[in-house]
Structure 1
Amino acid sequence: MTHIFEGTGVALITPFNHNSVDFNAIRRQVNFLIDNGIQSLIVNGTTAENPTLTEDEKDQIIQTVIDENSGRVPVIVGTGTNNTQRSLEASLRAKELGADAIMLITPYYLKTSQRGLIAHFETIANAVELPVVLYNVPSRTNSTIEPETLERLSQNPYIVALKDATNDFDYLADVQSRIDTSEFALYSGNDDNIVKYFDEGGNGLISVAANVIPAAFQRVYTDADNREKNFEPIGELLEAMSVDINPIPVKYLASLKGFGQYEVRLPLVVLNDAEQVTLKAAFDKFQAEVQA
């Protein structure tokens, strides 16, 4: 099996307009991203404010993205929760709607053992029979997929990739020593480490900031001889975006690009006026430098 994608995938935001999902903005953004070199669309993940969406909204978002994409790039749907049965039902629904793959986060709050992780992921993968991207983000879940566990899971024919948001290169090296990287893809889940991640053999990135600067991220992957140089303006923008937690800053920048109003759903709150001014200045500087 070939990798689902190589290069930059985008963890899509959910644009809102007066607290309703802005489906027209989703359509515009899908075309913008694909036109600017994005290799995969990741739907209904953390960046999409998944926990605040109704089941009906999630289904409509999936269908809107799949329809607008029209088979141009793979669509991966985030269906993982800390409830195996609920994750399974969401995964089957994503398959019914036409998803190319699903992404499963490690269970959070209701934590489990490594044996439990194997049972959880394999139960879903074997029932759904779609390619599965595992999502390891211990900073949010306080749970991790140990390298030995990933080695076992990589032997499942449906479990084909990892979104690695550990930012731990010892972990990456251990994983690489245990799996067949020609069959199992490794994607960074951290925008700020991609130069090293790509240089160390990673297959791509599932990005937040690429919602607004897709071509710049894809260039870092494809232009291996100039990675550090191409990343410099991205790194400066990411520093400005660290003013608050994801997806609060990127949704402000997306609103500047015309993808929805600047709205998030509680418990998230928008940047204050001074923070918005500072972030806009950083974004304007980025655009001037990259387009010069």
Structure 2
Amino acid sequence: MSHLFTGAAAAVTTPFINNAVDYEAFRAHLTFLKNNSIQSFVINGTTGEGSTLTSEEKVNCLKIALEVAGGDIPVIAGTGSNNTAQTVAASKEAEALGVDALLVITPYYNKTSQKGLIAHFTAVADAVNIPVVLYDVPSRTGMTIEPETLKILAQHPTITALKDATGDFAHFSRLQAVVDESFAFYSGNDDLALPYFAQGGHGIISVLANALPNEYQDLYEKAQTAPKEALQLHQTLFPLVDALGVDVNPIPIKVLVSHIGFGEYAMRLPLVPLEQTEIDKVITQFDLIRKDG
């Protein structure tokens, strides 16, 4: 069964310079990712600081991503919000630009019920003709997509996948039981990538793949054919994954994206940079992996 992608997608960061988007660095970073095994670009999501980008900036980022992808890998646009009408409008605009799929988060802050989730996601899916990837990240939204809700949503022809950032493997099993093999599951947690693959996950929408795209695609492929080698790679990557937990995403990963040459280390408020001692620790762990590699 064909899925939108298998393996490692990058939840792409957005570089800034003087608080404006650095489109040159953005294009260079995307080119690096494409040339180093990444299977999909996810643009304007949490890691891309989509909540602080203007509509014009989001459109510009999508246009550049589509140009770099060149039809070779899918471009997935983060269009979700806690406003259904706004989400529908953003989704239709992204579709008109030519993106391959949409990533739509569960509503946050005002939240909703499971019945409301069905109505929200259905309204978005009814408005477009491209795949919709549901995004479940309860640590940021305060709610979770329940199995019975997914069972109903997965019957919609354009709702084809879920980015699962719950970190709950029992919940993952319950979700798997209510859909067929055509539905794809992508991990949203770098620290749980290997066990997620082992349980049948089809890939990952990764933060760390911004800096280590080859390694995360390799981890997925080894998980399918060489589990011992996959475990070794997981253990190599884990200290860096652990180090990135020093602050909220994308503050730490932007250290590494800048370190490898794609823009300044900068983000928009309310996010603030790490202290230098924390920056040094993250870079040290990253350089150890590159040295061993």
User: What's the TM-score once normalised by structure 1's chain length?
Assistant: 0.97
Q: Tell me the equivalent position of 2:248.
A: 245
Which residue does 2:135 correspond to in 1?
135
Distance 2:138 2:281 in 1: 30
* Cα distance between partner residues in 2 of 1:259 and 1:55: 23
Structure 1 ranges of 4+ moved more than 4 A? none
The range that moved more, 156-165 or 14-23, is 14-23
Report the Cα distance in structure 1 between the residues aligned to 2:129 and 2:113, rounded to whole angstroms.
Answer: 24
- The CA deviation at 1:56 is 0.7
Structure 2 stretches of 5 or more lacking a match? none
**Is 1:205 the counterpart of 2:208 in the alignment?**
no
Q: Which letter does structure 1 place at the counterpart of 2:273?
A: V
Asked if residue 10 in structure 1 is aligned to residue 10 in structure 2, the reply is yes
Matches within 5 A, 1:26-65: 26-65=26-65
Report what 2:182 is aligned to.
Answer: 183
SS at match of 1:135: strand
Counterpart of 1:269 (choices 233, 253, 272) is 272
SS at match of 1:133: strand
Give the letter aligned to residue 264 of structure 2. Answer: Q
How large is the Cα RMSD of the aligned pairs?
0.9
Which residue among 281, 288, 292 is the counterpart of 2:291?
A: 288
In the TM superposition, what is the alpha-carbon distance from 1:243 to its structure 2 partner? 1.2
Q: Look up the match of 1:163.
A: 163
Q: Secondary structure at the match of 1:134?
A: strand
- Residue by residue over 1:233-289, the C-alpha shift from the partner in whole angstroms, topping out at 9 and shown as x without a partner, is 210111111111100010011001111100010000001111111211111111111
Give the Cα–Cα distance (whole angstroms) in 1 for the partners of residues 118 and 8 of structure 2. 28
Structure 1 letter corresponding to 2:220: Y
Shift of 1:230: 1.1
State percent identity of aligned pairs: 49
Deviation, 1:2, is: 2.2
| Alignment partners' CA distance in 2, 1:99 and 1:76 | 6
Q: Unaligned stretches of 5+ in structure 1?
A: none
The two structures have a TM-score, normalised by structure 2, of: 0.97
Cα deviations by residue, 1:141-170 (Å, 9 ceiling, x for unpaired) = 001100110011001000000000001000
Matched to 2:177, the amino acid is S
Match of 1:120 in 2: 120
Aligned length: 289
Secondary structure in structure 2 of the residue aligned to 1:242: helix
For residue 246 of structure 2, what is the amino acid of its counterpart?
V
SS at match of 2:238: helix
